[in-house]
């Protein structure tokens, strides 16, 4: 069995491809730097990590100007 070889590490991407499941969760927030949203991020990250999920947090930049 390959997994018993020294220094073997599971390739998470390959495993997820075979399982057809990524364990990724995305969360889009208005402003990820606001104290209110950072508390949400910390809480979500703590709970989802306990259940084997990875998170992607992005900002919608609702209050920023693009000019």
**pLDDT tens-digit readout, 45-67:** 999 999 988 899 998 877 666 55
What integer pLDDT is reported at residue 13 of this predicted model?
75
What integer pLDDT is reported at residue 63 of this predicted model?
64
Question: CA angle, 12 as apex, 10 and 17 as ends, to 5°?
Answer: 120
Residue the block writes with tokens 């609702």: 62
**Residue pLDDT, tens place only, 18-49:** 888 888 899 998 888 888 888 989 999 999 99
Question: Do the Cβ atoms of 16 and 22 come closer than 8 Å?
Answer: yes
Q: How far apart are alpha carbons 48 and 6 in whole angstroms?
A: 31
Give yes or no for residue 1 having a pLDDT over 60.
Answer: no
Each domain of the chain, given as residue ranges in start order, spans 21-67
Superfamily of domain 21-67: Response regulator (3.40.50.2300)
């Amino acid at each position: 069995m390959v997994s018993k070889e020294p220094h073997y590490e599971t390739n998470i991407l390959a495993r997820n491809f075979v399982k057809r499941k990524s364990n990724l969760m995305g969360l889009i927030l208005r402003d990820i730097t606001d104290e209110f949203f950072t508390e949400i991020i910390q809480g979500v990250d703590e709970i989802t990590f306990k259940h084997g999920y990875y998170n992607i947090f992005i900002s919608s930049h609702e209050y920023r100007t693009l000019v």
